[in-house]
Structure 1
């Protein structure tokens, strides 16, 4: 048997239809941009990984896949990305900012049956994000969580 694949999850790359629009959206959220849009890919530093923005068709081409037209994609694509925050007030403030910069609120933050507080928004390409406060997942000083 071979060695396991190390779980060094380091980058999430999103295929976006309008790189400038998406860079502006994530910058307006207050995220730290790295790289230059003229390179065709832009990076955003997160608490433990990197978020990459790359052209929608270019990302499909890089993976040797055919990209379906964006307008044919379902609203729900079977994946969400999550931002965990230290309390409910921080979640509410984050949703205010998302709304201010043009994010679409899919589900406003509400108390959840699992004891937390969360809601969902989508970015300009319909990519679904959750913003949550999960009392069992304490957020450390670097913005990271530990799942028990």
Structure 2
């Protein structure tokens, strides 16, 4: 298997709300392949998909599970930036767009600077500056 991820799909409770958050709030570009029941966004070689949560569970042949506000979803998405100032700017932009600030940016144990926000469904995004490596 080639070590590559092409698409991340988030099971969302309200597709239109989430589409608006990512497109209008965060400024992600909605791909033309999007349809009424699914939204696709391009992220520099990777796609982010938004799909109704119950339909995503059905597609995987699993019972649907409710999103639990405030509970850790078991994974995070990360957005790495070149400077600490950019981290603060992106977190402020996300909150203005409707995200919930989960952890304000701060110096972290590994020597970087990061904070977290949650999207409307509680999916966590880490916004970080790592002075030791750059992930394109």
TM-score w.r.t. structure 1 length?
A: 0.85
1:131 correspondence with 2:131: no
Residue number among 108, 114, 128 corresponding to 1:112 in the alignment: 108
Deviations 1:89-121 (A, max 9, x none): 111110110110110000000011211100011
Residue number among 72, 78, 85 corresponding to 2:74 in the alignment: 78
1:138 to partner: Cα distance? 2.0
Structure 1: which 5+ runs fail to align? none
Residue number among 13, 37, 40 corresponding to 1:17 in the alignment: 13
For the 8 Å contact 1:20–1:37, the answer to whether it is kept is no
Aligned pairs, how many?
134
1:36 correspondence with 2:34: yes
Find the aligned partners of 1:86 and 1:94 in 2 and give their Cα distance. 12
Deviations 1:67-94 (A, max 9, x none): 12234x7611221110001111111110
1:37 to partner: Cα distance? 4.0
Structure 2: which 5+ runs fail to align? none
Larger CA Rg, structure 1 vs 2: 1
1:103 correspondence with 2:99: yes
Moved more, 28-37 or 128-137: 28-37
For the 8 Å contact 2:7–2:48, the answer to whether it is kept is yes
Deviating above 2 A after TM superposition, structure 1's stretches of 4 or more consecutive aligned residues are none
TM-score w.r.t. structure 2 length?
A: 0.92
